[in-house]
Amino acid sequence: MAPVEGSPLLTLFSVPKSFIGHTGVIQRNAIGSWKQLGTDVDVILCGDDGGVSETAGELGVRHIPQVERNEYGTPILSSVFHAAWAASDSPLLAYVNADIVLFPDFVAAAAQLPRTHLMVGGRWNVELGEELEFCGSWERSLRQTLDATGVRAPPLWIDYFVFSRDSPLVDLPPFAVGRPHWDNWMIYRARSLGIPVVDATRFVDAVHQNHGYAHVPRASGGLWQGPEAEANAALSGDIPLMSLHHATHVLTSKGLRRATMSPYLRARWYTRRAVNGNFEKFARAIAPFVVPVLRVRRRFRKATRALL
């Protein structure tokens, strides 16, 4: 479906789990916050887990029940992305994890996004045990909670992706939703296709509500590890694990800027052989001269520490 005049700026789609216990609370918080984003955002919930249809109806958002699932019953992201694309008419699509509370700065960031770019961003981790009341000063109150107890997640954790409906990023392998590797693959995929990646962390405050991982089938180790994580890793292939620091641009209060800060240049230096961005090409050209110097410096520092 092509964008039509008067359509929303973006279609935000997600795949909630069953609305049971604490999971239900944090998902209602997330979806409730999306409803506060205004008429520029169309919200679609995908999947038919327990309570999804009822919650969609109660909160007045759209619902796509039928999506493909893997052998463990977990929804497949390729099916979800295609279903949301087919059901939308907005110029931008936004996949957001179902535990992420968003503020209006998310829409303001999307409005500045060039249609040729991918927007991603970091998150704040917080503990929220009760449903938010979306009235009055709810945003100010939650921002105060962020200031007091919020913890910034590492740049490998990525919970939203905003891109043009015409982007090749609509097509992806059959990754399992809610398992690792696919989010890092999305950044690699964009960079390998020459799609500029915008890190909106400095502009967008995305709030991740902490939760457990008891829902992961045949889990092993911590968090979300298990056979589905291994399958996602296999689908990703032998590629570097890319993070927010592999972005080409950052979005700040002063607008879109090239990502020339040291964490970005350092990350892109170490993955200079993986993609063909201008910086990576330059890094490969100077590497024969720079790498020997860096080795000497490391040896000198090691020898100095041994003498102290």
Whole-model pTM: value is: 0.92
Domains of the chain, by residue range, sit at 10-256
CATH number of 10-256: 3.90.550
DSSP string covering 260-301, please? -SHHHHHHHHHTTTT---HHHHHHHHHHHHHHHHHHHHHHHH
* Helix (H) / strand (E) containing 236: helix 227-236
- Quick one: pLDDT at residue 49? 95
Q: How confident is the model at residue 253 (pLDDT cuts 50, 70, 90)?
A: very high
- Quick one: pLDDT at residue 219? 52
Q: For the chain, how many residues are written?
A: 308
- Quick one: pLDDT at residue 16? 97
- The whole-number average pLDDT for the span 225-231 is 88
Spatial distance between the Cα atoms of 275 and 240, rounded to a whole number of angstroms? 10
Task: Provide the percentage of residues in the chain whose pLDDT is more than 70.
Answer: 93
Q: How confident is the model at residue 300 (pLDDT cuts 50, 70, 90)?
A: confident
| Cα Rg, the chain, nearest whole Å | 20
CB atoms near residue 119 (< 10 Å): 27
